[in-house]
């Protein structure tokens, strides 16, 4: 294995990372299998992994296009961590090597001084063998990646960063419900969040039909569940809602057509659709969503699924701003003593042209 330098120049050392980073590929005759091995270091109050919680020390790298990164942007907003945890946002597309900071002036992250997220990974692991993924948390002093464990990052935001939570922040991971939340999150990961990818990247008709059936069985269960309470766990939002929303908000614009998950649109399922509208209109959720970046990412990067790289103009997303019916249920959105977050930081406001009333030209 040859070496790879830390400037972002690719050599054979990061061939695996290149293939993973470019986007998932359809393998003829094989089912989709996501690599779930991530850097599992944690940033904690006691710093037991060598990474203590500190204001200003870390930078969250989270592309708006990515659903796994989207959940970290939502959690950071809801908990009010903006002033203690800065954010870098790569653009919606990337090459085989890495996500790039092409939205920043000069194509360089203003805090890390990197053109590519790959450089933060190589600063710690010169031979890092897996995908250069978002979300990732980077240690600013060393400019080296700390973790990319998307399953753990938001849980630690909720439980380890409490010293810096805003006044009125919701308890997204209430102790009394953790066991049930964990079970639901695990089920949703395999059947819904990753389920859409299993459908979209199925390498055979048999694999596609099996995963299609499992995905819609799960969505039907969620439709039924959301017929009894406003949110997944009851009257208040929790980590479970933070994890489901990024998949649902991408469903009709991307997964329905691009991934062939097309039994029906989400908009035709009353509980799921009104739940999605409800969360989209809730501060901290919809204000993290950039539909132009989302569609650009999926339809442009996945060349094996969409070789022309043509990005569709539809669907019409303006109904997301229409009234929903979720207030028919018992509601305590922010929990006892909680309150909605303030407006996003000026530098983090989504381009109005990328929001539902404008993205389809209306």
Share of the chain above pLDDT 90, in %: 87
Is 204 contained in some domain? yes
What pLDDT does 14 receive? 35
pTM: 0.93
What pLDDT does 187 receive? 98
Binding-site residue numbers are 99
Residues 213 and 160 in one domain: no
Is 82 contained in some domain? yes
Contact by Cβ (8 Å): 94, 19? no
What pLDDT does 32 receive? 78
Is 360 contained in some domain? no
Nearby residues of 33 by Cβ (< 8 Å), 6 or more positions away? none
Residues 144 and 195 in one domain: no
- pLDDT tens digits along 3-24: 223 333 333 333 333 334 434 6
Residue 299, pLDDT > 60, answer yes
Q: Which of 6, 286, 51, 32 is nearest to 153 (CA)?
A: 51
Residues 136 and 271 in one domain: no
Is 151 contained in some domain? yes
Q: In the structure, what pLDDT confidence band is assigned to residue 202 with cuts at 50, 70 and 90?
A: very high
Contact by Cβ (8 Å): 254, 294? yes
Q: In the structure, what pLDDT confidence band is assigned to residue 291 with cuts at 50, 70 and 90?
A: very high
What pLDDT does 360 receive? 63
Q: In the structure, what pLDDT confidence band is assigned to residue 27 with cuts at 50, 70 and 90?
A: confident
Q: What letter would DSSP give residue 148? A: -
Instruction: Determine the average pLDDT of the residues in 108-128.
Output: 97
Is 227 contained in some domain? yes
Residues 18 and 151 in one domain: yes
- Asked which of 164, 197, 225 is the last residue of a domain, the reply is 164
What pLDDT does 358 receive? 81
- pLDDT tens digits along 206-226: 999 999 999 999 999 999 999
Catalytic residue IDs: 66, 197
- Asked which of 164, 199, 230 is the last residue of a domain, the reply is 164
Residues 238 and 292 in one domain: yes
**178-188 vs 239-249: helix crossing angle, rounded to 10:** 20
Count of other CB atoms within 10 angstroms of residue 196? 24
The 3-state DSSP class for residue 59 equals: strand
Is 361 contained in some domain? no
d(CA 6, CA 119): 5
- Asked which of 164, 194, 212 is the last residue of a domain, the reply is 164
Residues 153 and 27 in one domain: yes
Residues 297 and 183 in one domain: yes
Contact by Cβ (8 Å): 317, 360? yes
Instruction: Determine the average pLDDT of the residues in 240-244.
Output: 99
Residue 115, pLDDT > 60, answer yes
**Strand ranges in the chain using DSSP code E only, listed in sequence order:** 58-61, 86-88, 136-139, 144-147
- CATH code of the domain containing 76: 3.40.30.10
Binding-site residue numbers for glutathione are 99
For residues 42, 46, 49 and 51, what is the CA-based torsion angle, rounded to 10 degrees? 70
| Helix%, strand%, coil% for the chain, nearest 5 | 40, 5, 50
Instruction: Determine the average pLDDT of the residues in 100-119.
Output: 97
Instruction: Determine the average pLDDT of the residues in 31-51.
Output: 92
Is 170 contained in some domain? no
Residues 218 and 157 in one domain: no
Residues 210 and 117 in one domain: no
Is 2 contained in some domain? no
- CATH code of the domain containing 289: 1.20.1050.10
What pLDDT does 24 receive? 62
The 3-state DSSP class for residue 87 equals: strand
Residues of the domain holding 146: 12-164
d(CA 109, CA 111): 6
What pLDDT does 6 receive? 31
Q: Across the chain, what does the average pLDDT equal?
A: 92
Q: How many domains does the chain have?
A: 2
Instruction: Determine the average pLDDT of the residues in 60-82.
Output: 98
């Amino acid at each position: 294995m040859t070496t790879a330098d830390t400037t972002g120049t690719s050599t054979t050392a990061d061939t695996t990372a290149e293939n993973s980073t470019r986007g998932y590929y359809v393998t003829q005759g094989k089912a989709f299998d996501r690599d779930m091995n991530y850097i599992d270091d944690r940033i904690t109050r006691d710093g037991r992994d060598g990474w203590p919680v500190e204001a200003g020390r870390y930078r969250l790298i989270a592309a708006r296009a990515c659903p796994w990164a989207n959940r970290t942007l939502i959690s950071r907003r809801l908990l009010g961590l903006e002033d203690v945890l800065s954010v870098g946002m790569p653009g919606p597309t990337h090459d085989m090597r890495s996500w790039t900071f092409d939205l920043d002036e000069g194509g360089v992250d203003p805090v890390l001084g990197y053109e590519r997220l790959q450089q933060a990974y190589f600063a710690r692991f010169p031979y890092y063998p897996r995908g250069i993924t978002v979300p990732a948390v980077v240690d600013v002093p060393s400019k080296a990646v700390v973790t990319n464990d998307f399953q753990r990052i938001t849980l630690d935001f909720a439980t380890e960063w409490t010293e810096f939570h805003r006044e009125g922040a919701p308890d997204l991971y209430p102790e009394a419900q953790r066991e049930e939340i964990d079970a639901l999150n695990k089920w949703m990961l395999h059947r819904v969040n990753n389920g859409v990818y299993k459908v979209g990247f199925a390498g055979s008709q048999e694999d596609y039909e099996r995963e299609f059936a499992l995905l819609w069985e799960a969505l039907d269960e969620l439709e039924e569940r959301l017929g009894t309470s406003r949110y997944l766990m009851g009257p208040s939002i929790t980590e479970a809602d933070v994890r489901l929303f990024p998949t649902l908000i991408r469903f009709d614009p991307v997964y329905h057509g691009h991934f062939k998950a097309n039994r029906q649109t989400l908009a035709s399922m009353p509980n799921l659709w009104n739940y999605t509208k409800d969360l989209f209109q809730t501060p901290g959720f919809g204000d993290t969503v950039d539909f132009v970046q989302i569609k650009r990412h999926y339809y442009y990067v996945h060349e094996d699924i969409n070789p022309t790289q043509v990005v569709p103009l539809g669907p019409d997303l303006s109904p997301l701003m229409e009234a929903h019916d979720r207030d028919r249920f018992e509601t305590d959105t922010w929990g006892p003593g909680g309150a909605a977050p303030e407006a996003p930081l000026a530098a983090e406001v989504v381009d109005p042209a990328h929001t539902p009333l404008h993205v389809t030209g209306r």
